[in-house]
Amino acid sequence: MAVREILLYPHPILKEICAPVTRFDAATDGLIQDLLDTMIAAGHSVGVAAPQIGIPWRVVVVDVSHSKLGRDANHGQLVLVNPDILEREGHCISREGCMSVPDYTGNVARAASVVVAFCDRSGERRVIRANGFEAIALQHEIDHLDGLLFLDRVSSLKTDLFRRKHR
């Protein structure tokens, strides 16, 4: 299919709540292929959400298997249609950036492990547990489907060591 342009904030689609996919037809399959092509073309990218290419549907693709941080624990290339995070466990902070918000990064706290239910490309229902970087990438991409950017999740300024509650 095609490599699509990544939309940049303040494009309004990035702040929309996306609609669930109801049919696994050619349009859905084409969108999935575009997401995969776009993710692969952006060599450094480990995930893309449909609204980032201008389609407000609940579809994301994630693949951390080629990145240093995700190499050791991943499910390979994932296509997630109507994903739903069922469980969150643990806590980790990482410095996130986003292709739709260039030149800015922020510390974001996420669950260290998530259980995600979704439909795969063929419409088959699946449930996986993801850990570490793959869990972070999934949470970041799924946030896009609810119009949330990492900027909405920034947990601390650059150094978070000193920003604790007073004893």
Burial-class residue 77 by CB neighbours within 10 Å (0-12, 13-18, 19+).
middle
Q: Which two tokens stand for residue 17?
A: 């709540």
Of 46, 78, 116, 119, the residue at the interface with other proteins (CB under 8 A) is 46
Instruction: Please measure the distance between the N-terminal and C-terminal CA atoms of the chain and give it in whole angstroms.
Output: 57
If binding is defined by CB under 8 A, does position 141 make contact with other proteins? yes
Choice from 3, 69, 112, 128 touching other proteins (CB under 8 A): 69
The CB-of-94 to other proteins minimum distance in angstroms stands at: 6
- CA pair distance 61, 46, nearest whole angstrom: 8
State the DSSP H helix or E strand holding residue 102, giving kind and residue range, or none if neither: strand 101-110
Give the binding range for other proteins (CB under 8 A) out of 7-15, 63-71, 72-80, 116-124. 63-71
Both structure tokens of 34? 């575009």
Q: Is 96 in the site for other proteins (CB under 8 A)?
A: yes
Looking at the annotation, which residues are catalytic? 141
Residue numbers at the binding site for other proteins (CB under 8 A): 44-47, 67-69, 94-99, 105, 133, 136-137, 140-141, 150, 157-159, 161-162
